[in-house]
Amino acid sequence: MYAVVDIETTGSHAAANGITEIAIHIFDGTAVVETFESLVNPLQSIPPFIQQMTGITNEMVATAPPFSAIASKVYELLKGQIFVAHNVQFDYTFVKTQLKAEGFELQSPKLCTVRLSRQILPGYPSYSLGKLCRSLGIQLENRHRAGGDTAATVALFKKLIHEDQQHHIAKSLKRNSKEWILPPNVPKSDFDQLPTRPGVYYFHDKKGKVVYVGKAINVRFRVNSHFSNDAPTLQKQRFMRSVHRITYQECGTPLLASIVESAEIKHRWPRFNAAQKKQEDVYSLFAFKDQKGYIRLALDKSKKNVSSLLHFPHQAEGHSVLRKMARHHHLCLRLCFLQTEAGPCEGVSQQLCKGACEEKEAPLHYNNRVSAALQQLIAEANFLIVDKGRNLKEKSYILVERGVFYGLGYVPVSTQLNNLAEIKTHLTPYRSNRYIQQIIQDFKENFPDKIQLLPPVTFSIH
C-alpha cells in the first residue's frame, strides 16, 4: 500500500517551520481506499507571501488542531506504508520531524514522483507538479492546497505505475537503490558513475554552475552521505533543491584530491562551500643589498611584481625557517630583521653573529655565507612528490618550486622524464594558496621517501 502525501507549510525547512495543512491518500495501486485531510495550527504566523500562494490564512488555522492533536492518526496511517510525494524529501522530512517531536519514529520506504516521472516519462520541459499535470492532461484543482495536490499526485502516480515498463518503481524500492535519497532533479546515472576511489566531486545547479566542490577517499560513499540524512535545516533543503547534476574528477591519492578541491573552491567560489573562502596572506622571503653592501633578508607579505626567493604559508613558519638558517650559518639577526628593537645585537652576545651589523665582518665574507644558506634553503624548497596514479599504468607528480605549489599531473609509468621542462608538459598548473602549501609541507615531512629534490637553481640579489 502507498501513502500519497502532500503538506503545506509556513516555510521551506522543517527545523524552524510548521505544517499548515496535510493530506494523506492511502492508495492500493488502483484506487484510493482511505483519505485524511486537515488544516493544522502551526503555532506560528504564516508569512504573507505563503498566505497568498496557498490561500491558507492565519485566521483559517487559528481554530485548527495543532499537529500534536493529529500526530497519532497521521502515524497510524503512514506506518507500514510506502511514503509517496512529489519531491518526497521535503514532505517526508517535515512529517518525520513533527512526528518525532510527539514521540513517534517514522521509518518508511519512500518514492519521489519527480524522480520517477523523469525516468518513466522523459522529455517534458518541466516536472513541477502543476506544469507536468497540465502536460499530461491530469486535472489539478486547488493548486497549493494539500488535498488538491495529493489527488493530482495520486493520478500522476497511477499513470507512472501503468507506464513503468522498465520497472523503475520496483528498482527504486530496493534497499540499495539510492533513488529516494538523491535530490529530485539529479539523474540516478550521475550517482551510479561515481568511483569508489579518491577524487573530487562537483554539484551543479540547473544552469550547470558548480554550487559545491568536495573531495573524498571514496567519492561515491562521500556523495551518498550528503543526501542520506533527513536534516530539517534550511541549508539542507536549499542544497537539495539546487543540485541538478553531479560530476567528478578522479585523483590518484587523497593528497591530490585535497589539492584539487582547494584550488577549485578558490577558482569557482561555489555557493554552498563555506570553508577555504577566507582572504589569506602568503609570506615571502626577500633579499637585497643595503647601502653598505650587506645582503639583508626580510620576511613580509607576498607582493605582486616584486621578486622573492621563497614562499611560506604562514608568517610563523617563515620566521622559524629564517631564524634556524641564521643560527646555523651565523647570520646577523639584525640584518635578517629578526631583531628590530634597539640595543646590542643578540647574535653577537650568543656568538652567532660575527659582527656584520657593526661592520666588523667584511660584506664579502658575510654575503658568501648568506648565499650558501639561501642556496641550501632554495634547493630543499624545489622538489617533486612522486606517488601512485589513478591506475597501475601511471604515476602522479606534484611540483613545488621555491616553496610554491606549481601544479600536478599524471605520467605513464613507462615514460622517462629527463628534466623539469619535460615534467611540466605533463602537469596542469594551479593557483597555489595557504592551505595547499600547508598540506604539501605536512606530506613532505611525513613521507620523505616520496620526495625527489630538483637540481639547484640560480638566483641573484641586487
Q: What is the DSSP letter of 41?
A: B
Distance CA 391, CA 388 (A): 8
Extract the C-alpha cell encoding 280: 589569506
Extract the C-alpha cell encoding 323: 631564524
pLDDT per position as a tens digit, 264-307: 999 999 999 988 777 777 788 999 999 999 999 999 988 777 77
pLDDT per position as a tens digit, 395-445: 999 999 988 899 999 999 999 888 888 999 999 999 988 899 999 999 999
Tell me the sheet residues that pair with 292.
none
Give the CA diameter of the chain.
102
CB 314 within 8 A of CB 281: no
Look at 44-58, 66-80, 84-98, 217-231 and tell me which has the smallest mean pLDDT: 217-231
Indicate the CATH number of 188-268 among 3.40.1440.10, 3.30.1390.20, 3.40.47.10, 3.40.50.1820.
3.40.1440.10
User: What pLDDT is recorded for position 377?
Assistant: 86
User: What pLDDT is recorded for position 232?
Assistant: 67
User: What pLDDT is recorded for position 462?
Assistant: 65
pTM as predicted: 0.72
Distance CA 266, CA 4 (A): 44
pLDDT band at 458 (very low <50, low <70, confident <90, very high): low
Which residues make Cβ contacts (< 8 Å) with residue 283, sequence separation at least 6? Answer: 299, 300, 301, 302, 311, 312, 313, 314, 315, 317, 318
pLDDT band at 78 (very low <50, low <70, confident <90, very high): very high
User: What pLDDT is recorded for position 352?
Assistant: 82
pLDDT of 5 over the 70 cut: yes
- Top pLDDT among 342 and 70 is at 70
Residue ranges, CATH 3.30.420.10, the chain: 2-172
pLDDT band at 56 (very low <50, low <70, confident <90, very high): very high
pLDDT per position as a tens digit, 196-236: 999 999 999 999 999 999 999 999 999 999 887 766 677 77
pLDDT per position as a tens digit, 331-358: 998 899 988 887 788 877 787 888 888 8
User: What pLDDT is recorded for position 459?
Assistant: 66
Residue ranges, CATH 3.40.1440.10, the chain: 188-268
Percentage of residues of the chain with pLDDT beyond 90: 67
Q: Averaged over 98-113, what is the pLDDT? A: 94
Indicate the CATH number of 2-172 among 3.40.50.2300, 3.30.420.10, 3.40.50.620, 3.40.50.1360.
3.30.420.10
Distance CA 209, CA 211 (A): 6
Tell me the sheet residues that pair with 288.
296
CB burial of residue 247 (10 Å; 0-12, 13-18, 19+): middle
pLDDT of 86 over the 90 cut: yes
User: What pLDDT is recorded for position 231?
Assistant: 67
Q: Averaged over 434-462, what is the pLDDT? A: 87
Percentage of residues of the chain with pLDDT beyond 70: 98
Q: Cα torsion for 103, 104, 110, 112, to the nearest 10°?
A: -60
User: What pLDDT is recorded for position 411?
Assistant: 94
Q: Averaged over 149-163, what is the pLDDT? A: 97
Sheet of 19-27: strand order equals: 32-39, 19-27, 2-9, 82-85, 110-112
pLDDT of 147 over the 80 cut: yes
User: What pLDDT is recorded for position 274?
Assistant: 84
CB 370 within 8 A of CB 331: yes
The chain-wide mean pLDDT, for the chain, equals: 91
pLDDT of 61 over the 80 cut: yes
